[in-house]
């Protein structure tokens, strides 16, 4: 198989894939093409789209690679889809920020930081697949611990949790009422992306960012 054929196949599968694809997953599609060749062909697809100013981008996000639309063309994409972007309230964004930076974290710990009940905000974040249950804490009462999902990374155009924006940037997002179908850097998320199911209660916690459980003050606006 020629390199141009490999590039064309990668472009096709990235176009239809509902979620980011890892290099290993893409390599499984080919016979006689090794992982490094697939990576090199993928970089060529990415660079070619950039060189010809395509309306599409190939980006590394959420643990894999995905084809998305460029941010500057989002208004036209939204006009075609004729939908109003779902928005996350200030309370939801503040709750999401706490979970993102302190995970794994329990609802009680989130409420201690925010100073208000967070049941409604956490429910909304679970429904939108931005957070998930990671298991239960091994203490009295065994409260559920929460963390972010791979889809959270997709929504916000992040390769991994190390690319989380600063707390100030999160605050700016809250003030701007960020539309949830627009990642910060990668443009519109493709329709049909399947959400990542939450871990069942009682299971072992998934790997997460270090958790600083220090007390913090602060009180926020009302729930969703």
Q: What is the pLDDT of residues 104-152, one digit of tens each?
A: 999 999 999 888 888 889 999 998 889 999 999 888 888 999 999 988 8
- In Å, the largest CA–CA distance within the chain is 61
What span, in angstroms and rounded, lies between the C-alpha atoms of 101 and 93?
12
What pLDDT shows up at residue 78?
80
Residue 69 clears pLDDT 80, i.e. is over it:
yes
Burial 40-54 (b: 16+ CB within 10 A, else e): ebbebbbeebeeeee
What pLDDT shows up at residue 197?
36
- Enumerate the CATH 1.10.10.10 domain ranges in the chain, comma separated: 3-81, 85-219
What pLDDT shows up at residue 125?
92
Task: Report the DSSP beta bridge partners of residue 64.
Answer: 61
What span, in angstroms and rounded, lies between the C-alpha atoms of 152 and 4?
33
What pLDDT shows up at residue 218?
36
What pLDDT shows up at residue 163?
82
Class of domain 3-81 (CATH, top level): mainly alpha
What span, in angstroms and rounded, lies between the C-alpha atoms of 102 and 149?
14
What number is the average pLDDT over the span 10-35? 92
Tokens of 209: 């960012």
Residue 48 clears pLDDT 90, i.e. is over it:
yes
Band the pLDDT of 86: cuts 50, 70, 90: low
What number is the average pLDDT over the span 87-114? 88
Tokens of 168: 């100030």
What pLDDT shows up at residue 87?
73
Find where tokens 């998320």 sit: 189
What pLDDT shows up at residue 75?
85
Class of domain 85-219 (CATH, top level): mainly alpha
Share of the chain above pLDDT 90, in %: 38
Helix (H, G, I), strand (E, B) or coil at 108: helix
What span, in angstroms and rounded, lies between the C-alpha atoms of 79 and 63?
30
Find where tokens 């643990």 sit: 63
| CB 78, CB 196: distance < 8 Å | no
Q: What is the pLDDT of residues 167-219, one digit of tens each?
A: 677 666 555 544 443 333 333 333 333 333 333 333 333 333 333 333 333 33
What span, in angstroms and rounded, lies between the C-alpha atoms of 115 and 82?
38
What pLDDT shows up at residue 26?
95
Mean pLDDT of the chain: 76
pTM equals 0.51
What pLDDT shows up at residue 200?
37
Tokens of 153: 């990374």
What Rg do the C-alpha atoms of the chain give, in angstroms? 19
């Amino acid at each position: 198989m020629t390199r141009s054929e490999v590039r064309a196949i990668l472009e096709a599968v990235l176009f239809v894939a509902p979620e980011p694809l890892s290099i290993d997953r893409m390599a499984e599609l080919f016979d006689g093409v090794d992982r490094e060749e697939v990576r090199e062909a993928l970089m060529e697809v990415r660079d070619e789209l950039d060189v010809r100013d395509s309306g599409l981008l190939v980006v590394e996000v959420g643990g894999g690679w995905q084809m998305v639309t460029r941010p500057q063309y989002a208004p036209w994409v939204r006009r075609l889809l004729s939908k109003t972007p779902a928005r996350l309230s200030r309370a939801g964004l503040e709750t999401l920020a706490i979970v993102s930076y302190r995970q794994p974290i329990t609802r009680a710990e989130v409420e201690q930081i925010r100073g208000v009940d967070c049941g409604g905000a956490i429910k909304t974040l679970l429904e939108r697949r931005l957070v998930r249950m990671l298991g239960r804490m091994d203490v009295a009462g065994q409260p559920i611990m929460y963390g972010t999902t791979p889809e959270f990374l997709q929504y916000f155009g992040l390769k991994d949790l190390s690319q989380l924006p600063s707390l100030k940037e999160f605050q700016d997002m809250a003030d701007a009422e960020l539309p949830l179908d627009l990642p910060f850097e990668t443009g519109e998320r493709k329709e049909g992306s399947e959400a990542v199911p939450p871990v069942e209660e009682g299971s072992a916690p998934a790997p997460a960012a270090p958790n600083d459980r220090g007390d913090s003050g602060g009180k926020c606006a009302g729930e969703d």
